[in-house]
Structure 1
């Protein structure tokens, strides 16, 4: 709070005059308090921040705001200053507006933003400005620009083009868009291609064309490549140039890659068949080769009271923040619902809600909440994210991120034949990345199957179902849910660990 004080200023007087002292009523200014109610909204790799004026402005009218960006690693080490290419508009420092837009963030990365309130007194105060903090994680981003486009062959009315994939696809490439126009003309034409090559037809002979290519993922189109000039030939049967040999070279290289992949798959299958022993032996062998020095998973059942583990690893959410909309399935302990979560300082989001059925025993409640204690320890884009728990309500709830496309097994059956091999391999790669993360955490999933992999609207696959109370047996397993490719991942981890040792 500001406090008034009286200050006397003595002025130099002319000769033969009387010296006087004039008292002036002065306010003592202070630094402002922190901005209030900071709200964040993430859109792929962009972010908008809004906030309200501080409760105490410090008694001055020169209040401005600073926005500080920090990038945080997943091993919970101290956050570091963002790169200079991160764009904060209208600017980072000295803003009178209470809203900024942040662009050029990295995909699937955690950031921390400090919104500071400062005035003319802040620079003279030894303490740091007061600020509010908001933590966000970016989503999948559009692909980067296609590096360059090559002319493979041209005729009087066609151009055979080829290009390299984007350096940062940020997901599975769905297709490419080729934009072309006659040099000097305004009208453009577009065609699409599922591969990194295309044949543009219906062109005019002996005409120069400007060509650009961009890639598309589920996150949208990336930037176009730099414009390239290519010309059609005057005659329909031109002589072949050195570039004509490129398709043969690329085809030979692709065939070699296919052979190598096939050999690796055969080796994995053979090792799986030779593998013997119980699931416990597999677990012990896997943990034997875990790299030291990494964050280690803590079993919630090692706590004297498992409820302590829930409170340590899972955030307690107030019941007023949760709204259940509809039942979308059934779990082992109760129903699975879709709903909405609205917390202070955050935008409303769609979530999945697991409920504990009425009439539960204390053991069932413990086992139900143990899954939350496990999920709360993980932070990876290919592992289901825990939003929080409600242990003081009835029924008891577990809140997780919502995966629009549901379980992988049913999703693939409903969309049989609609995905390219590249998309399927991309999905499998995401599963492998999530499982490697769990392996590095010294956690053994025990029930990796297609039914326990969830798929979101961006075709990102995430490992889920961490209930330790379930153990596999021959009578409960449903072979229709089993993915032979996914089941090989466990063997790959052992092979990789053996090589490291």
Structure 2
């Protein structure tokens, strides 16, 4: 019996891998004090007896700080589905975590930035000037923003997932690469301004070119004012990096700020630099009797000369005064002998030219027809066909373009209106405004040549790609549109027809404002309707004051921008659905607004409502909209809060009313009408046999019923929203 017991104990020890003396192969004892042997953890082994630890299998590793009982692990696989969003010289990257974390939880991310397209043809490291938000190394979240990149530059970003054993693996790095091209951008601020010669009435200044010019510097703008008198300032311009500022008061302190301009626009002003003029000279002429006469003569002469020079050379050296102005008009002021004009370049209406040909040739470059190759027709415009093709200018590489042609048999008025759009477009130069390459007017057909936008109009593109983009990508599109509109607003141009159909989008998802023809009457626009004051305007996109009183301003463009936001977030849904134009006008006047699109972040919907304020002075300006969208992009977590889905019904003032049986006689008829008849049987089987029952359907209900396609969910929920809207004859109240 004792022998049998001893044999049982030995057998149990063998089975458990322990013995009274040593551990057998495949088992280990980390310390002599351990009561028994432990089996080697996953991905580790030992072939020897009495092992105190197990070795890791090939391609698996263990950190020094990992306990011997922990499984051996390996580096993670590459991150997945990386997407980019380019915004001038900033790039936002977002990705999905790796499919294989290597068996560890300490996964973080590293971003490698490479600048490509150097003369050697090789990529090189980006350098220390690039900033990473929140950081480049040790990222825990799956997104990052790179800022302060160079304009018009090709970059490759490599996103690598790393964990605690990545540095032990000799294998090649596992990463996902994203290639982007940055846009045109304004120059960075000037950082160094030095004073030169100082006299009692003048100060000489010099400065260094911006660290990141982002293009060729066209000119510098010098703003100065007497200290503590900021409300009255003067601006002069210079093409050089030095200037002497005259006409100053003796023994006075002046504040100077300088900014640079490229084709993309002005950069930010430098910090304030404070310099003081010399005191009045004590030397005086022995003949004091002539001083008053001379002083008066010189003063009058200087004033007259300044006025004349101001008119003749206003383009090169103009002084401006900041004054309280009516936002609807531009005023000219005199101050210290300077003519005061607006600080920014101003849009000039080509219709003010007696000869429209003069306007075209002033603002648009003439292109030889032989330089253009038309490849295919891609659409029809108001005046003729729209084609894609290629442009080969002397000394430059061939590149793709879009070509608008003027149809045969045109009238002189049609030709004038056709080229009028080129005269407008040619005045703009911004990365979010469609770029005019030139015109063909000296041969037939008459053509307008612009940059080619691969993805076409934004509304069509969104409908084709319903539900395919992240919220950040959609916000990036909206930011680009707002930036373009800010530029137009600063130029003094009112678009009047801002809508997703008039936004073009390229292969990098950069949106550009186009269609500058609403200075003409919209006789051929299917979205336009006659108003009581005559003419046609696009009712669904137009602010109430513009519909009622033809009062078009940048504030009415902001209203239209709010509608564009709604179109983008709803992936090209038609604003106000099938309501008639008259019903839209009535509903908006009564204070109703479009409901929030499905899965819309609360911050975006609030911005839409701000754009739809009835009082146009209460609406945000485009620069405020750009700033707000920038903040959302830098802080993606702020977009995770959605508009409360349960509030959508109460917002529509539906209360407890049924949908009304007059719209559709049955659930099947309703689903067939919206081309969702395939779900009729599922709805009926789950108790949704009446339109009153269907009225209570939520997005979660649709998923439970098996409606998993995002596009189908949107279509059904939008149809329900539309019926509820029709029930209350309007939209969401402010």
Bigger CA radius of gyration: 2
How high is the TM-score relative to the length of structure 1? 0.44
Higher share of residues assigned helix: 2
